[in-house]
Each structure stands twice: as C-alpha cells, then as structure tokens.
Amino acid sequence: MTAATYSDGSEPFEFRMLFYDKRYRSITLQIITIVLFMLAVAWLVDNVVQNFRDLGKDFSFGFLFQPASYDINQTLIEYTSRSPHWKAAVVGILNTLLIAFLGCIAATIVGVLIGVARLSQNWLVSRFMTVYIEGFRNVPVLLWILLMSTIFATALPSPRQAPQLLGGALVPTNRGFYLPAFEWGAGSLPLVIIFLLSIVAIIVFRRWARTRQQETGEILPVFWISLALFFLPSLIAFFLLGRPIGLEFAELKGFNYQGGLYVRNSFMALWLALSLYTAAFIAENVRAGIQAISKGQTEASYSLGLPPSRTMNLVILPQALRIIIPPLISQYLNLTKNSSLAIAVGYMDITGTLGGITLNQTGREMECLLLVMGFYLIVSLLISGVMNVYNSAVALKER
C-alpha cells in the first residue's frame, strides 16, 4: 500500500502530504480504496478458484448446449426435452417477461381504479378500498401467491366435473382455465393487416382531432369514432374474406381438455397475486399523486365549468401523472423481481428453469445463478433507464 502511494507521488514531497494535503488526499484515499477493493475481490476469486480446484469442478458454459432432458409445461416457443439447456432458459425468460408484462398491465388498471376509488366521496367505497390496500400491502406477497394457488386448486372442480361456461368458451378447472384459441385460416394475413392499419388510423385520427381542437376549438366525438374505426373495418373484412379466423374450443379428451388456449393455474395464481398485491401499492401512489395536486386546481377547473369527470381527466390526472409515474415504474420493477417467486407455485420462469431445474440437474450453481442474476439485472437497468428518460422528459421546465 505504501509502495503504491509512494510510486504515485512523482514530485519530491513529504509522505505526510499524501494524507494532510487536500490536493493529494482524495487521490490517496481512492488509491487505498481501489487497492482494498481489488484485494477483497482477488481474495474472493482466489477462494472460488481454490474451492473449485479442490472439488474438481470447472467453470464453463458448455452445459448450455447439452440436451436439457426435462419437460416444461408452458412454452411460448417450440421446446422438447431434447432441446438444449439454453433453450430451456429462453423459455423461462419468455415466461418471466409474459408474467411481468401482463402483471404490470393488470396492476396498473386495478391500482388506478382503486386509487381513485379510495378518494371517492362515498364512505363505503373509500373504506372498502382502504381495507383492500392495507390488507394486501401488509401481508407478504409469497403468502398471497400460495393462497391464490390453493384457492384455484381446491375451490375449482376437476376437469371431468368442470362446467362449460359461455357455451364452452370458458372452462374453469382446478388445473387451469380453458379459453378458445384463434384458428388462423387462409386469408387471415390481410385481416390482421387491416386490423393493424385501423389501429394506425385511430392514432392518426386522434392526433388530427387534437390539433383541430386546438386550432378551431371544435370537439369531435373522438371516443365513438375511434371505437368505430377499431371494429368496423376489421369486422367488414372478416365477413368479406369469408371468416378466415375461427375459434377453437377446448374439448374433454381423456384426462384433460385438449385444444383451445390453456391458462394454467400456476400462471393465474401468480398473475393475480402479483397484480393485486402491486395494485395496492400503485393505488397508494395514485392517491398520493392526486392529493398532491392543489385543491385550487380542482376549484379552478370547476369554475371553468368542467364537469368532475373531465376535471379528473384533463386537469388533475395529467398533473398527477408527473408524480405518479416514477414510483409506478419502480413498482413495475418490483413486480418483475417478485415474479421470481413463480418457483413457489411451479410456474416455469427463468428462476424455475435455468435457476431451478437446470441448476439442479447439472450442478452448475455458479454459472446458472450468474446468468439468472445477469438477466434480472439487465431487465432492471432497462426499466430504470426508461424511468430516467421519462423523468427528464416530464421534468418541470423552469423558464
């Protein structure tokens, strides 16, 4: 250490200056820190190397290209037990992203509704929402996940006794929910293109309507026109093209229903628990955001003659969003990280495949956990990157 600090000082000055002279002290301290830090890291790495050598283990990612030899129930891409481990990991990553994405959407919708309802004039409604928020916030999410899973497993009937709701479109069983799946026939491609085009048309129309409103003050029935644009072209094309997209219903064959869209209870339990739990936190953020907007804004809006719903949509929410969104995004981050609890209900996310079965079967803890943590780290950094971009975009521009 002393050698390091000596060699650093090129001028002939006293050793004491390194510690007492403000010009050098910070550099000295940093060099000491680096040396200590490197020593600590070297110590840890050396321990790992020694331990691995003692145990005859090696560090390599070659196992990722060996066949995984195990099956996964929910796979969004083609996967069999002969597929390599890296593919199992990809299946897990996609499952994580799926649950995180759908969870964030559901949590936002429920959270905003509850946050607004929490401020309702109606005593019963606001109390009910308070109970909901406190109830979900103060009980561990793991317990909620386990409870949801138990509810689905015990309260729903087995496939053979399951009722066929909505003419067989929804079959709730204690293993999962069967929904109709799309059947893509010939001519479905143009239909999809028409649908996407109508969505683009809606976006363009709304932009145009807004500029028009700002220029002329005339308000168009934007909502109804958007709704019509959403449905009409696609529906007309659907019948003109001879119903290219059909629905495939699940049917009871052998042990289980076959066909259709199978939403497993492991997914449902995790999705519901995560969304409802996170929604309670989001609701509090929404409430805090709305309450942070000064009462004068509401009064000003009323005195301009805006009805309460428009006051909320046009005056309060746009201002509240600035406050709500940063904590909202960190809730998204929490939800994504909490989705790793999938392992408790057997939903095969990245922790379940790469960090679970692959790790167990290959005995490569170091490699598997590094990859799993790396994945979550990348997702977290991406989410917080989005947050930073947003923050700088909406930051109050002081002129």
> Which residue lies nearer to other proteins by CB, 301 or 340?
340
Least Å from the CB of residue 38 to other proteins:
11
- Report the C-alpha gap between 73 and 320 in whole angstroms: 42
Closest distance of CB 386 from other proteins, Å? 14
Pairing assessment for the beta strands 256-258 and 261-264 based on DSSP bridges: unpaired
Q: How far apart are alpha carbons 222 and 229 in whole angstroms?
A: 10
- Residues 37-66, interacting with other proteins (CB under 8 A): 37, 44, 47-48, 50-52, 54-57
Instruction: Give the contact letters, 306-345, x = binds to other proteins (CB under 8 A), - = no.
Output: -------------------------------xx-xx-xx-
Residue from 76, 147, 189, 386 that binds other proteins (CB under 8 A)? 147
247 binds other proteins (CB under 8 A): no
What are 172's strand-pairing partners? 177
Contact between 146 and other proteins per CB under 8 A: yes
Minimum CB–partner distance for residue 8 and other proteins (Å): 13
Binding to other proteins in span 106-145, by CB under 8 A: 120-125, 128, 134-135, 137-143
Cα–Cα distance between 112 and 275 in angstroms, integer?
Answer: 12
Interface residues for other proteins in 195-214 (CB under 8 A)? none
Q: Kindly state the tokens that stand for 137.
A: 């916030």
CA atoms of 77 and 353, how far apart (whole Å): 14
Applying the rule CB under 8 A, the residues between 162 and 201 that interact with other proteins are 174-175
> What letter does residue 353 receive in the DSSP assignment?
I
Question: Which residue's CB is nearer to other proteins, number 143 or number 204?
Answer: 143
Identity of the amino acid at 141: V
Of the candidates 365, 385, 386, 391, which one interacts with other proteins according to CB under 8 A? 365
Name the residue among 157, 158, 241 with its Cα closest to residue 192.
Answer: 241
Place of tokens 């947050």: 387
Distance CA 151, CA 2 (A): 65
Positions in 221-240 near other proteins (CB under 8 A)? none
